Amino acid sequence: MKTKASYVLPLTVLIFLFTIEISFTRSITLNVFLVGSIMVYLVWQRKLAATLMALFLPLIPALATFWSVYVNGSGLTDAWILFSRTFAFAGLGILFLVGIDLEELLLKCEEMGMPKNFVYGILVVVNAVPEILREVSEIEEASLLRGKKLHFWSSLVYVKVIFVAYSFKNRYTEAMYSHGYDEDGTRTHYERLVTPRWSWLAMCLYFVVSHIVWLIQS
């Protein structure tokens, strides 16, 4: 059996913990520390588009929140807290989007005991999305040949997408059973995902350091 190092679980846990924490804490320092760390990570991973998205996507909501709280709320401190929190939430979301392989995360959860039927059901949906988008593109092109332009609000598009997805369901089901899938059988793994211990230690260290910085500045 092959093994592969996987870091998605510690990173997912870290993102989840910070998402919960900054929802209930009033710390500008922690928010800024998170945003800075995420920016450094994205630059290190050479994710230029994600870095620019993390910088500019939350800018308008953050400014709107800042102005609303500053003018009608409880003052400048709360305005800065919500301003920085908006960037922190956006950064965590973008980090999850570009830093987490959803398929790898689901397979890791399945190895840890998550029901396999649930995992493979989600994987089927994830892997079918590109095919569904291709079918939608073909539907739009066929409509143009008939002199009709379909917009994203056209109900015909969604009806046809439902039929396409339903046909894919049957095809994927037949493919899985033809490859020996058994809903009640024991799952075997061609490749097992192994999370190195140092990745958990690194996660704990980062969590502790972020709180030390927070306590020093508070």
Q: What is the DSSP string of 51-119?
A: HHHHHHTTHHHHHHHHHHHHHHSS-HHHHHHHHHHHHHHHHHHHHHHHH--HHHHHHHHHHTT--HHHH
Same domain for 8 and 82, yes or no, is yes
On whether both 89 and 158 belong to a single domain, the answer is no
> Is the domain of 203 the same as that of 127?
no
Q: Are residues 87 and 16 in the same domain?
A: yes
Pair 14, 95 in one domain: yes
* One domain for residues 79 and 145: no
| Residue 147: domain span | 105-187
Query: Nearest 5°: phi and psi at 172?
Result: -65, -35
pLDDT at 87: 95
Written as six digits, the tokens of 141 are 């092109």
Instruction: pLDDT tens for the chain, 218 residues: list them.
Output: 678 888 899 999 999 999 999 998 888 899 999 999 999 999 998 888 999 998 999 999 999 999 988 888 777 888 999 999 999 999 999 999 988 888 888 888 888 888 877 888 788 778 777 877 887 787 778 777 777 777 767 777 777 777 777 777 777 777 777 767 666 667 777 778 888 899 999 999 998 988 888 887 66
Residue-level pLDDT at 60: 93
The CA distances from residue 80 to 33, 64, 137, in Å, are 14, 12, 44
Total domains present in the chain: 2
CA distances from 177 to 134, 183, 211 (A): 25, 9, 50
36 shares a domain with 95: yes
Neighbours of 187 (CB within 10 A): 11
CA distances from 110 to 17, 105, 156, 184, 201 (A): 21, 9, 37, 14, 23
Cβ proximity of 33 and 213 under 8 Å: yes
pLDDT at 36: 93
Asked if 63 and 149 sit in the same domain, the reply is no
pLDDT at site 1: 65
So what's the pLDDT on residue 6?
84
| Alpha-carbon distance values, 3 to 108, 116, 216 (Å) | 12, 19, 42
The residue whose two tokens read 């994830």 is: 126
Cα(170)–Cα(132) distance, rounded to whole angstroms? Answer: 14
pLDDT at 183: 67
The H-or-E segment that residue 194 falls in is strand 191-194
- For residue 56, what pLDDT is reported? 92
Task: Give the relative orientation of helices 76-99 and 28-44 as an angle to the nearest 10 degrees.
Answer: 30
What confidence score (pLDDT) does residue 185 get? 66
Question: Do residue 144 and residue 63 come from a single domain?
Answer: no
If asked whether residues 182 and 123 sit together in one domain, one would say yes
